Amino acid sequence: MTTVAARAVGTEADRVEGLEKVTGRARYAFEHPIEDMVYAAPVPSVVARGEVIAVDVAEALTFPGVIDVLWHGNAPKLERVGNAELHVLQSPRVAYRGQYIAVVIAKTLEEAREAALRVGVEYAVERHDVGLRADHPRLYRPERVNPDLPADVQQGDPDTALAAAPVTVDAVYRTPAEHNNPMEPHATVARWDAEGLTLYDSTQGATSLRDAVAPLFGIEPSSVRVIAPHVGGGFGAKGEPHPPVVLAALAARRTGRPVKLAVTRQQMFSVTGYRTPTIQRVRLGAHPDGHLTAIVHDAVEQSSTIHEFAEQTTTPTRIMYAAPNRRTTHRLVRLDVPTPSWMRAPGEAPGMFALESAMDELAAACGLDPIELRIRNEPEVDPETGLPFSSRNLVACLRDGARRFGWADRDPAPGVRRRGRLLIGTGVAASTYPVYRSACQATARAEPGGIFTVRIAAADIGTGARTVLTQIAADVLRVPLGRVRVAIGDSALPRASLAGGSSGTASWGTAVTRACEALRDELDRRGGTPSTGVTVSVDTTEENGEPSRFARHAFGAQFAEVGVDRDTGEARVRRLLGVFAVGRVLNPKTARSQFIGGMTMGLSMALLEESVLDREFGDYLNHDLAQYHVAACADVPAVEAYWVEESDPHLNPMGSKGIGEIGIVGTAAAVANAVHHATGIRVRDLPIRLDKLLT
Amino acid sequence: MRPFVYRRPGDARTALAELAAEPGAMYLGGGTNLVDLMRLGVLAPRTLVDVTRACSDAIEVRPDGGLWIGAGVRNADLAAHPAVRRRYPMLAQALLSGASGQIRNMATVAGNLLQRTRCAYFQDPSKPCNKARPGTGCPARAGDHRNLAILGYSDFCVATHPSDMAVALTALGAVVHVEGAAGPYTVRMPGLHRLPGDEPERDTVLEPGDLIIAVEIPALPYAACSRYRKVRDRASFAFTVVSVAAAVDKSGGTIRDCRIALGGVAPVPWRAERAEAELRGAPIAEASFRRAADAELTAARPLTENGFKVALVRNVVVRALLDLVGVS
C-alpha cells in the first residue's frame, strides 16, 4: 500500500460534498425525482382534545386532481408499536391541536393543499389542559429520563445541609418551549413496490428510521429502505421518528403510487417535536468561601398524553460540581400538547441555564469571582458515581477563556458600565456534554485501482460527518483523502446509530476505524489488492459493550458581553467566546462551525426563542419564522470558538468527544449573567425580552 | 392555494376596470404580504391584478423639496433615494428598519401602506378573527397580545398596523393619490387608515377597487432634522414592538413645530397630535418631551400583557426628541 506522511485527521479538510451542495446538485429528501409521483397534504386537528366524530371527504374528492382522502375510518391498519405518536390515522382520538387526522392525496401539491382545507371534520370537543405549572396535580416521576437515566438521584442529606448552610441560593428558573426549526423542513418521498417500502426522508438516522417504520407495517426491516444522502439540519427534530413519515408511507400504501409529503413550517410546531418548557428550582448551599455543601435541582416538564418524552434537565448537575449533599429530580405532567422530543442538547441546554445562573448568583452572594467559585468546586471524581473522569478540563477552559476574553480586570459591580445609552456587562458560564457511543457496523473495500470505499449508514445533517469519516478512513488506510469514498445516508448500508447525543463521529468513526484496520490487515495478509477487490466487515457491538471505568464528559466555558439599551430594554450580544475541552478535534474547520453554530443557537435561546402557547386553542401560536424569532445575522456579531489540547485515551480510537451540542450548553446562562452584570436585573425566565429589562 | 387568474395591465384605468369586472379580484404589488396570506389560506382572490406595470415607479423631487412617489416604487429604491435620505431621513430609516433586503427589493410603496396586520390570529384561518373572518370574535384580547395595541383599538380588534414606512409617512402628512371608480381623489395621512370600530375588516378608507397611484410628501424643510427609532425583539427582520417617527423645528430654545407618529401601538400608524400640541412652543428640555409623551399616553388603554408599551413609548419618544435636539 502507498503510505503518506501527512495525516488527514486534524486538518481543515473541505467538505467532500461541498461542491455538490453549492451547485445545487445535492439532493434533499423532497428533490428525488420519481415517476408517477403524487402529493400528500395532511389535515391537522383544530381542537386540542377530543374525538373525531365524522370526516366528510365528499367535497375534497370533487376537487380536481384529488386521488384519495385518508382518515381513521379508511386508512390501512398499522401494527401497534411503543410510540403511539406513530399510530397515524388509527384512532378517532385527538391528543393535541395539529395532530394529523386525515390526509389528501392529489396530483399536485397545490391541489392537495387546497382540498385539505375542504375536508369537513366534526369533533366531540373535550376541555383541554395545556398549562404547565409546578403545582400541577398530575405531576409524576417518570421511570427514566432521556436517553436512559434515573429520574431522581440523591446523595447525603441535602435538606439538612441546605438548612445549615451559611450562604444559600434558592431560585426558580424557567425556559419556554422551543422549536428546532432546521432550515429544511421534514420531508418524505414514500414508494411501495415488490421489494417493500422505500423512503427518501430527511432523517438523522437511516437505520433507526427503518427499524421504527418496519414494525408499523408488519414487515421486516430488510423490506424497508431509507435513503437520506443530504439533510438540511435537524438539531434533534429528525432524530426520533415523527408522524409525517408514517403518514407518507400510509398514503403511498393506500394509493399504490409514490407519495411526496413536505411538512410545512407551521406544522413543524406540532408534529415534529420541540424542547419541553421547564420550571426548575435550584437550591445551593455553600460556605462563605464558596465551597458548596448542597446542590438541589428539581425540574418540572411536560409531555403529551400519547407519548412520554422525559427530558433529562437536571442530569448535568449530577457531574458539574463537588458537594457532599445533592439531589436532582424530574417531574412530568402529561398535557394535551404536542409531544416534545430532542432539541440540541436536550437536558443540558435548559438545565445548565438554571444551574449556571444559580452559580452566578452564588458568586455574588459570596463576593467571589464566578470563575473562582467554579474552580473551588471542581470535583476530584464524578460526584455521582465516584468514577474518575477520563479527562476533565473545565478549569483549563475557564482560564484560557478568561485570558482570551479579557476577564481579569472585570469589575463585578452590576449596572455601572455605560457606553452611550447602553449598559454593558459580561458574564461567564460553564458547559458540559456527556460522551455517548453506540454500536455500528461498517464495511471497507479495496479496489485494484487503489480506491477505497467505506460503507456505513451514518448521517451527515450538515455537520461535516461525511468529511470527517473520510479523514478517519484515509489515515487508518494510510492513503490520501482523495482515494477514499465514504458512502452514508442509506439504510442499505451497514447499520449505524443515528446522529444524536453528539455521538455520531465517535460511533461511526470507531466502526470506520476498525473496518479500515481490518482491511489493511487483510491487504497485508494477501500482499496487495486482488483483481476482484476485497471487502471486510466489522461490528463494534462487543467493543462498545465494554463498560468504561471512567466518567466521560466534554466541558467548556462560555463568555458573553452584552449591551442593554437603557431606554428600551433591548439586549444584544456584543461578543461571545467559547473554549471547549472535547478530546481530539478531528477537523478544525467543521468543528469550529459546530461550536459557533451551537453558541449562536444558545444566544438565540437566551434572547429570542420562545414558542408561545395559546391557552384557548392549545397550540403554539407563533408557528412561523416571522413570529418565532431565531437569531438573524444582525443579532450575532463576534462569535469565537477555541479548544484546549486534550488527550484522552479512554474514549474511542480517535480520542474524540462529541462536539455537536456542547456549543449551545451554557451560552444562555453566560448571556443572562452578562445581562445581570450590565443591568443588575436577574432574568430567570427565558428569553430575555426587552419588557423584562424595561425599568 | 386555489387556482387564480393573473393579469398585468399597463395602466391604472385598465387595472380598475379589470378589478371591477372580476368578483373576488385583488390588486397585487410586490406580493410580499398578499402571497403569504394566500398560501396560508387567509385570502383567496380569484383574480390577481398585478399593478406594478400600471403604477409609476418613479420618484420626482418637486421644486419646493416635496416628493412625488409612484405607487410602484420599491421600498429599497425609495430608501436609497438621495432626496429621501437628505430631506426625510425618518422615511429612509423607517424603510430600512423594515423586513429584509430581499423583501424591500420587492415591496412597493402602495403595497406597504396596505399590508395587513401580523396578529397571529389574523394569520391563522383555523382560529377566529374579526378582521380576517368578520363576526367570529377576537381571541387576542384574552390570548396572546403582548405585541398588540394600546391605543385606538376596539372591542372587535386589538391588532396593530405593521408598516414602518407608514409611520414616517403619517408623521410627514403624506398625501395619498387614489384612482377611484368616480375619478381621482386624495387622502392625507393619517386619514388613509381607519380605526377598527365595529368593522375591523376595513383597514382603510379606500373603496373596493380603488387604486393608489402615488404618494406625495408635501415639503417640510425641517424634516431634514428627523429620525425613526424602532424597538424590536430581534435586531433585524422583526416587526416593531414600538416605534417613533419624529421631526423637530427648533427656534432658539423652543420647539417651533414638530411631527410625531408612533408605530406598534395602534391599529393605524398613530399620529401623536396631543404630543405635538404639547410640544409646540415648549422649551427644549427633557421635561417638555416627557410631558408631550405623557399627553399622548393619557389615552392609552394597555391590555393585560402589553402595559410595558406605555413606558416604552414614553422612553422612546423622549429619547428620539433628545437625539434630534442634540441633548444627550
pLDDT value at residue A596: 98
Residue A137 lies in a domain: no
Residue A372 is a catalytic residue: no
Q: In whole angstroms, how far apart are CA A542 and each of A148, A438, A491, A545, B41?
A: 20, 11, 21, 5, 55
Secondary-structure breakdown of chain A: helix, strand, coil percentages, each rounded to the nearest 5: 25, 25, 45
pLDDT value at residue B1: 66
Q: Do residue B234 and residue A632 have CB atoms under 8 angstroms apart?
A: yes
Residue A2 lies in a domain: no
Residue in B with minimal Cα distance to A617: B127
Q: pLDDT at residue A6 above 70?
A: no
Mutate to test the interface with A, among B97, B102, B141, B234 (most CBs of A within 10 A): B234
Beta strands B5-7 and B47-50 are parallel
Residue B181 lies in a domain: no
Backbone angles phi, psi at A424, to 5 degrees: -110, 140
Nearest to B120 among A114, A572, A622 (CB): A622
Q: pLDDT at residue A689 above 90?
A: yes
pLDDT value at residue A695: 82
Are residue A314 and residue A385 in the same domain, yes or no?
A: yes
Q: In whole angstroms, how far apart are CA B144 and each of A116, A660, B159, B243?
A: 27, 34, 11, 20
Q: pLDDT at residue A1 above 50?
A: no
Taking residues A540-546, what's their average pLDDT? 94
* Residue B304 near chain A (CB below 8 Å): no
Give the CATH number for residue B320: 3.30.390.50
B311 neighbourhood in chain A, CB within 8 Å: 694
Q: Residue B128: CA atoms inside 13 Å, Cβ hemisphere, count?
A: 14
Are residue A351 and residue A290 in the same domain, yes or no?
A: yes
Radius of gyration of chain A (CA): 26
pLDDT value at residue B119: 97
Q: What is the DSSP string of A426-459?
A: EEEEEEEEE------EEEEEE-TTS-EEEE----
Residues 36-55 of B with CB under 8 A from A: 40-41
Residue A600 lies in a domain: yes
Distance from CA of A262 to the nearest CA of B (A): 14
Taking residues A171-197, what's their average pLDDT? 97
Q: In whole angstroms, how far apart are CA B281 and each of B224, B256, B278?
A: 20, 5, 8
Are residue A211 and residue A289 in the same domain, yes or no?
A: no
Residues 129-188 of B with CB under 8 A from A: 139, 142-144, 146
Chain A residues with at least one Cβ partner in B under 8 Å: 44, 46, 110, 113-114, 117, 266, 421, 567-570, 572, 608, 612, 614-617, 621-622, 626-627, 629, 631-635, 689-691, 694
Quote the domain boundaries for residue A469: 18-28+437-545
Give the CATH number for residue B39: 3.30.43
Nearest to B312 among A110, A568, A614 (CB): A568
- Residues B214-224: tens digit of each pLDDT: 999 999 999 99
Are residue A338 and residue A304 in the same domain, yes or no?
A: yes
B118 neighbourhood in chain A, CB within 8 Å: 626-627
Which amino acid, B68? W
- Residues A33-72: tens digit of each pLDDT: 999 999 999 999 999 999 999 999 999 999 999 999 999 9
Count of domains for chain A: 3
Instruction: Answer for the pair A444, A535: CB distance below 8 angstroms, yes or no.
Output: yes
Quote the domain boundaries for residue B232: 227-325
Are residue A342 and residue A388 in the same domain, yes or no?
A: yes
Q: pLDDT at residue A5 above 70?
A: no
Residue B66 lies in a domain: no
Are residue A599 and residue A679 in the same domain, yes or no?
A: yes
- Residues A203-254: tens digit of each pLDDT: 999 999 999 999 999 999 999 999 999 999 999 999 999 999 999 999 999 9
- Residues B227-254: tens digit of each pLDDT: 999 999 999 999 999 999 999 999 989 9
Please state, rounded to an integer, the average pLDDT across all residues of chain A. Answer: 97
pLDDT value at residue A630: 98
**CA angle, residues B190, B193, B198, in degrees to nearest 5:** 130
Q: pLDDT at residue B168 above 70?
A: yes
B308 neighbourhood in chain A, CB within 8 Å: 691, 694
Q: In whole angstroms, how far apart are CA B118 and each of B45, B74, B76?
A: 19, 21, 21
Q: What is residue B229's three-state secondary structure?
A: strand
pLDDT value at residue B3: 85
Between CA B129 and CA B240 the distance in angstroms is: 21
Between CA A55 and CA A65 the distance in angstroms is: 20
- Residues A451-474: tens digit of each pLDDT: 999 999 999 999 999 999 999 999
The three grid cell numbers given for residue A241, joined into one nine-digit string? 421518528
Are residue A414 and residue A487 in the same domain, yes or no?
A: no
Residue in A with minimal Cα distance to B309: A691
B303 neighbourhood in chain A, CB within 8 Å: none
Residue from A308, A311, A646, A661 carrying the catalytic annotation: A661
Residue B296 lies in a domain: yes
The three grid cell numbers given for residue A448, joined into one nine-digit string? 485494484
Between CA A1 and CA A283 the distance in angstroms is: 61
Please give the biggest Cα pair distance in chain A: 78
Please state, rounded to an integer, the average pLDDT across all residues of chain B. Answer: 97
Residue A322 lies in a domain: yes
Between CA B22 and CA B20 the distance in angstroms is: 6
Are residue A483 and residue A522 in the same domain, yes or no?
A: yes
* Residue B231 near chain A (CB below 8 Å): yes
* Domain final residue pick, A251, A269, A287: A269
pLDDT value at residue A3: 45
Taking residues A264-293, what's their average pLDDT? 98
* Residue B63 near chain A (CB below 8 Å): no
Confidence of residue A2 (pLDDT cuts 50, 70, 90): very low
Are residue A197 and residue A49 in the same domain, yes or no?
A: yes
Share of chain B above pLDDT 90, in %: 98
pLDDT value at residue A4: 45
Are residue A429 and residue A451 in the same domain, yes or no?
A: no
Backbone angles phi, psi at A208, to 5 degrees: -70, -35
pLDDT value at residue B326: 87
Residue B186 lies in a domain: no
